[in-house]
């Protein structure tokens, strides 16, 4: 009998990255923020990647910023935005430019300007090139600032949403509320949907702050420097960061930040990510209410807050439960075989993980939501 030997290896990977809200970002100077575009110690070569809409509006300022920092760079790679561009083909295009420019594994981070899609495709390109190169993210949309710029996960769509992905956070992430001033109102609502999710699932103090000051902040595109508007942004980012760092690789599939992300993938071909998150969360609120996890008064507060923020309360995509059930089944496959749907629980900032949602229960929740939004 041949003697067998077995060795067990255990290794730990430490991750450190920063996320900053910095007014006046495009006017920054290396004397004040020397590390804004990555460490200046070993190389000033960088490959800039810019969303095409961002380039049209801020391209000259970005190029001036690169010049002030004496960055050695090729012409920025301008990529399309939107979910249709979140594909392996876009990542392949980025890889070709990385190869042409000669991006090394260390010391020359990609510089990525854009919303969530830009960060996903460029982050995935960074993760899969030379087994991982660094990048710095600059979020120019509200949803990018709240949900994407500091995320560990990056992904592209391949037959299904986010089917190919990796854990590869930026070394640093920045945003400036001034970017939000020129966003279309629909883009503001898209990001507000993520803030709404955070208030329900992660931060008990954010919920009443939104009830009192959210409608004004949304109407002003978060441009006011008052403490309440800044607190809404800071609390949203901080709550998401706490959630991510506590379970970075999702070894525990129970994750409160998955609130609004169980049936929403089925909606996103028709509506935006933020809108889908809101509708998903409203549906699960109705399920939680029927199961006794949410009181009628808190249920109504959740719906009222969504309404006051101008968020969608209903869409025709909810009239076809089949795709929603398919999305729920796929979410369960992603979560170790259980649905583990994060739903509101008793009060703001708390969730309960639901299992066993079937077609009948989902249908009843859809009826309940339709009735609730029709009453007002």
Q: Give the active site residues.
A: 153
pTM over 0.85: yes
CB 348 within 8 A of CB 207: yes
In order of their start, the domains of the chain are 18-182 (3.40.50.1970), 185-374 (1.20.1090.10)
| Residue numbers in the chain where pLDDT is lower than 70 | 1-2, 376
Question: CB atoms < 10 A from the CB of 330, how many?
Answer: 17
CB 158 within 8 A of CB 140: no
- Residue 1 is predicted with a pLDDT of 57
CB 175 within 8 A of CB 150: no
CB 47 within 8 A of CB 111: yes
Percent of the chain past pLDDT 70, that is, above it, reads 99
- Residue 210 is predicted with a pLDDT of 98
Closest by Cα among 20, 19, 18, 22 to 177: 22
- Residue 226 is predicted with a pLDDT of 93
- Residue 128 is predicted with a pLDDT of 98
- Report d(CA 296, CA 69) in Å as an integer: 56
- Report d(CA 190, CA 307) in Å as an integer: 14
DSSP 158-210: SSSTT-EEEE---SEEEE-GGGGGGS-HHHHHHHHHHHHHHHHHT-TTHHHHH
- Report d(CA 303, CA 372) in Å as an integer: 8
The four Cα atoms 94, 193, 248, 167 give a dihedral, to 10 degrees, of -10
- Report d(CA 1, CA 241) in Å as an integer: 53
- Report d(CA 115, CA 119) in Å as an integer: 6
Tell the residue number behind the tokens 């380039």, with chain if given: 55
pLDDT in tens, 214-259: 999 999 999 999 999 999 999 999 999 888 888 888 889 899 999 9
- Residue 376 is predicted with a pLDDT of 65
β-strand pairing of 48-51 with 110-114: parallel
- Residue 303 is predicted with a pLDDT of 98
């Amino acid at each position: 009998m041949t003697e067998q030997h077995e060795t067990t290896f255990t290794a730990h990977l430490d991750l450190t990255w920063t996320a900053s809200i910095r007014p006046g970002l495009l006017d920054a100077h290396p004397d004040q923020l020397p590390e804004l575009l990555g460490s200046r110690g070993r190389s000033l070569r960088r490959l800039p990647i810019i969303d095409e809409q961002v380039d049209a509006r801020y391209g000259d300022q970005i190029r001036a910023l690169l010049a002030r920092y004496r960055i050695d760079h090729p012409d920025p790679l301008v990529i399309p935005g939107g979910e249709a561009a979140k594909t392996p083909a876009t990542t392949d295009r980025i890889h070709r430019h990385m190869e042409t420019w000669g991006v090394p594994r260390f010391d020359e981070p990609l510089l990525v300007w854009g919303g969530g899609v830009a960060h996903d495709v460029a982050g995935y390109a960074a993760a899969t090139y030379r087994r991982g190169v660094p990048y710095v993210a600059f979020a120019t949309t509200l949803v990018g600032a709240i949900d994407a710029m500091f995320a560990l996960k990056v992904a592209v769509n391949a037959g299904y949403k986010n089917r190919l992905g990796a854990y590869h956070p930026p070394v640093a992430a920045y945003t400036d509320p001034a970017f939000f001033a020129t966003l279309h109102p629909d883009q503001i609502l898209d990001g507000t949907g993520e803030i709404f999710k955070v208030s329900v699932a992660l931060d008990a103090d954010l919920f009443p702050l939104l009830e009192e000051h959210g409608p004004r902040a949304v109407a002003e595109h978060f441009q006011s420097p008052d403490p309440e508007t800044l607190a809404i942004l800071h609390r949203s980012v901080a709550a998401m960061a706490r959630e991510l760092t506590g379970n970075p690789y999702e070894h525990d599939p129970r994750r409160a930040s998955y609130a609004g992300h169980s049936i929403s993938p089925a909606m996103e071909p028709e509506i935006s990510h933020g809108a889908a998150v809101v509708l998903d969360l409203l549906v699960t609120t109705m399920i939680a209410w029927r199961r006794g996890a949410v009181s009628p008064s808190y249920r109504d507060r959740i719906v009222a807050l969504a309404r006051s923020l101008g968020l969608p309360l209903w869409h025709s995509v909810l009239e076809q439960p089949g795709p929603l059930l398919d999305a729920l089944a796929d979410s369960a496959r992603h979560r170790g075989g259980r649905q583990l749907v994060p739903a509101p629980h008793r009060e703001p900032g708390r969730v309960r993980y639901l299992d066993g949602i079937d077609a009948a229960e989902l249908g009843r929740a859809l009826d309940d939501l339709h009735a609730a939004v029709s009453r007002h």
